[in-house]
Structure 1
Amino acid sequence: MADPVSRTILLLDIEKYSDRDDVEQAYLRRMLYDVTDRALESAGIDGTLRLRADRGDAVMELIDANAPVTALLRALLTDVPAELRALNRMASSSAQIRLRGVVASGYVAVDGHDGWVGSDLNRACRLLDAEPLRAALRERSGDFVLCVSESVHAGVVRHGHPGIPAEDFHPVTVESKNGPLRAWLHGPVPGTAAGGDHGGGGRGEAPGGSGDRPAPRGSGGGPSGGPEPRGAGDPEQGADGAADRPAPGGSAKGPHRAGPAEVPHRAGPAEAPAPAGARGAPAPGHVLNVSGGSVSFGGSFGGGDTTVVLGDRLRDRGERP
């Protein structure tokens, strides 16, 4: 076995490959190789800087450590999604190709059978088959998802190089038979999409609102559109919900505003149209009817003259008894 050397590891895998028939699988393999070759060429990585291993529904590339990882990541984030969109636009439903990708780094040796040996390579394969990466591809509308190892994130991604937005990568922990593996997924982590409900059962939100204001009240004034409870929010309501109106036979404590469901008062002996003035004209000002001990108000009390009706007598506010 040769001595292990430092390599950048690229893995690409076809989604739902085994669900296709032989003809479709052969087509998908050709497309996988074409997409991989074009992405590596776009990154400036030619055939002299890489070794390829075929895994049937996947491809593994061992890339020379001197090849720039930044160029490889930019090609994977931009060129590969564009290539897949172009292919799938013209392909039938059975020939759609969607890929999972992993970029890792580590030491790999080549044995006498041209096989690849190395624990870093094993961990990269665990990431490729991990459920978070599979779930991300299932939940997204795009055709490609990418995950990078902890070492690639620490050495390249987190520094925010042009075309590699560090804020778009999110940490994930992958369970494997060798223990948990930490990696970084490009795009939303499955099950934690932005904008979801974070719990809070406070005020309702107005349709189309930002959540900063409560939902509008119903037409009836109550929380659900019904009538507003008496005594709530009305300065003229007492603690028991009753209006501060004079008791029968008593005196009024203040002006009483007639509500929409005002109960009509009983007509007294002098109940009639507004009383006439001294010359037959309507009496100026407001009218206070006092009959049988009950009091009702016409209008509101303010400036001007007021006429008081007591039984069958008229008395102006300025008239003395």
Structure 2
Amino acid sequence: MRKRLRRSLADSHDQHGLVRTGNRVRRAPRGRSAIDPLAPVETEPMNAWLLLGASDALLDTRSLASYRRAGAELMWTSNQRAQPGDLALIYLTTPYKEVRFVARTASESFFSTDLEVEGDSPAGRAQHWTYLTAPVEIEPIPLSDLRRASDSALVMQGQSGKYLRPEVIERLQFRAARTADQAELERIIRPPSGDPELPDPSVFDLDRWRTIASGALGLEATVERYVVEPLLRQVLEGTGLDLVRQFRVGRKQVDYAVLRDEQPLAVVEVKIAAPAPTDGDWTSTKQFAQLRGYVRDLVVPGLLIDSHRVLLVDRAGSRVLDEIPRRETKVEDITRIRMHILDT
């Protein structure tokens, strides 16, 4: 399904987050924007994504200038695993079939059923979105070059937000469409630092673990094997506690339970990427609600783990005690998780 830019954000977006859509004005959703959309991005990208846009998503010089001048935030359908600072290549479909713009993601991916997806083909409203920094127009990179750079492994069918490995970015040639934009382009284009090669899950190396590219974690089972299980084995080392998969809680099953003498001490729910709540309140999300049910039934602390973070949830299932970003995890965070499970 091909998708294009929400033109509403190009039309009007003031400091109060109001968006003009045709003749209607409403409040824009927020994805916890982490990057100034006006400034060239200084952070190192973890991933690179190919975002798809329909033919009429082509931005002209005037529109591009307005983003930089007025600070409007562009929003695009994306991958649920996108992180702030990721590299975004905007690919226009038929008749162009080429990358025409580059930007950085300015927020975590967030989920919405309220935003209309415009494009050449109808698309459902249930989509993941991300804000982008002001795009830079580049000399077109045709689909044939993308395929060569990806060793013909690129599949264009499906939704926006195709993961591009770091070597794909290194093999492509990026030139600004306007000479005046070349310096800014060079600050945006950096090979992603996220490691696309999944490490041996039987060995926990904190540095290697926290730099696994979320783009390489496309299945919940992959998150379990390479993120959750190595982490929990390290956390539980020397405690004598057991880690059990698919632990039954009433008529349901939680992904993992930590047991002592066959009695649950903590439960763990796993997601590929839990969409960041637009208001910052994790307790309002369906992922938290699912974990809350297990926590309250067993009266034990909980953990919600996805490709980005570890959330520590109290035994009442009422609040998040701590949020530990995977890419920033330190040795003391391992201790913090152990203490949370032991409820000490």
TM-score range (shorter-chain normalised) is: under 0.3
Larger gyration radius, structure 1 or structure 2:
1
Structure with bigger RCO (C-alpha 8 Å, 6+ apart): 2
The alignment's TM-score, normalised by the length of structure 2, stands at: 0.23
Relative to the length of structure 1, the TM-score reads: 0.24
